[in-house]
Amino acid sequence: MGKKILEEQQPQNRHEIVNSAITNSTWETALHVAAGANQTEFVQMLINHPDIDLTFQDINGNTAFSSAIAGGAIKIVKKFLTLHLNNINNYFVTTRDEKGMSPLYIASWFGQPQIASLLYQHTIINNVDLENGEQFGIFFNCIHNDIYDLALKMIENRRHIVHQLDTNGETALHILSRKRPMEFTFDPQAIGTWNRVWSKISFQSARRRRDEMPALRLAKEIWKRILEGHEYEYFEIRSIIRNPFNLVIEAAKNGNFDLLVVLFSMCPELIWEKDDENNTIFHIAILNRHVKIFKLIHEINVLKSVVRIQEDETTNNNILHLVAKKPQQSRLDSMLGVALQMRHELLWYQEVEKILAPSLRNKRNIFHQTPKDIFIEEHTEMMNDTEKWMKKNSNTCLIVATIILTVTFPTAFDILDQGSYNSIRHSKSIISHSSDHHTMISMTLLTITNAIAMSFSSTAILLFLSIMISRFTEKELNYVKM
Concatenated DSSP letters of 131-149: -HHHHHHHHHHHHHTT-HH
Percent of the chain beyond pLDDT 70?
80
Contact 186, 213 (CB under 8 A): yes
CA-based nearest residue to 322, from 349, 295, 291, 357? 349
pLDDT for 310-327, tens place per residue?
888 889 999 999 999 998
Judge whether 14-130 and 166-310 match in fold.
yes
The residue with greater pLDDT, 157 or 113, is 113
Residue 401 has pLDDT above 50, yes or no: yes
Residue 369's pLDDT is: 94
Residue 416 clears pLDDT 80, i.e. is over it: no
2-6, 14-18, 312-316, 320-324 — which is least confidently predicted? 2-6
Give the residue with greater pLDDT, 298 vs 32: 32
The CATH H-level superfamily of 14-130 is Ankyrin repeat-containing domain (1.25.40.20)
Q: What is the pLDDT of residue 191?
A: 43
Measured between alpha carbons, how far is 355 from 368 in angstroms, rounded to an integer?
22
Answer yes or no: are the C-beta atoms of 22 and 30 closer than 8 Å. yes
Contacts with 173 (C-beta within 8 Å, 6 or more apart), sequence order:
219, 222, 223, 226, 241, 247
**Which of 112-116, 181-185, 304-308, 363-367 bottoms out in mean pLDDT, i.e. has the lowest?**
304-308
pLDDT tens-digit series, residues 207-230: 444 457 999 999 999 999 999 999
pLDDT (0 to 100) of residue 262: 94
Distance of CA 186 to the CA centre of its chain: 10
Three-state SS letters, 94-115: CCCCCCCCCHHHHHHHCCCHHH
| Overall average pLDDT of the 2-15 stretch | 51
Distance from C-alpha of 274 to C-alpha of 250, rounded to nearest angstrom: 11
- Across the range 264-281, mean pLDDT stands at 91
DSSP 394-457: HHHHHHHHHHHHHHHHHHHHHHHHHHHHHHHHHHHS---HHHHHHHHHHHHHHHHHHHHHHHHH
Higher pLDDT among residues 380 and 428, named by residue: 380
Provide the 3-class DSSP secondary structure of residue 372.
helix
Confidence of residue 202 (pLDDT cuts 50, 70, 90): very low
pTM for the full model?
Answer: 0.77
**What is the pLDDT, as a whole number, of residue 49?**
78
Separation between Cα atoms, residue 316 and residue 322, nearest integer Å? 11
- The predicted structure's pLDDT at residue 14: 53
Give the pLDDT confidence score for residue 325 in this predicted structure.
Answer: 93
pLDDT at 119: 92
Lowest-confidence pick of 97-101, 130-134, 185-189, 334-338: 185-189
Mean pLDDT across the chain: 81
Question: Is 172 in contact with 137 (CB distance < 8 Å)?
Answer: no
Q: Highest mean pLDDT: which of 147-156, 429-438, 463-472?
A: 147-156
- What's the confidence (pLDDT) of residue 414? 64
Split at pLDDT 50, 70, 90, the class of 69 is very high
pLDDT at 4 over 60: no
Residue 324, CA atoms < 13 Å, CB-side half-sphere: 21
Length of the chain: 482
Mean pLDDT for the stretch of residues 274-278: 89
Name, in order, each residue with C-beta under 8 angstroms of 243's C-beta and a sequence gap of 6 or more: 169
Q: What class has domain 166-310? A: mainly alpha
pLDDT at 88: 56
Give how far Cα 194 sits from Cα of 120, 126, 181, 187, Å.
Answer: 38, 46, 23, 14
Least confident of 16-20, 326-330, 417-421: 417-421
| R_g of the chain computed on alpha carbons | 35
Predicted confidence at residue 193, as pLDDT, reads 43
CA distance 291 to 287: 11
User: Mean pLDDT over residues 22-27, rounded?
Assistant: 76
Backbone angles phi, psi at 102, to 5 degrees: -80, 165
C-alpha pair distances (Å), 27 with each of 58, 61, 89, 299, 453: 5, 10, 20, 64, 76
Helix (H/G/I), strand (E/B), else coil: 258: helix
Confidence of residue 146 (pLDDT cuts 50, 70, 90): very high
The ranges assigned to domains in the chain are: 14-130, 166-310
Lowest-pLDDT range of 7-21, 168-182, 239-253: 7-21
Q: How confident is the model at residue 285 (pLDDT cuts 50, 70, 90)?
A: very high
* Position with higher pLDDT, 452 vs 10: 452
- pLDDT value at residue 429: 47
CA distances from 154 to 134, 201, 275 (A): 12, 37, 33
- pLDDT for residue 114 is more than 90: yes
Predicted local confidence at residue 297, as pLDDT: 79
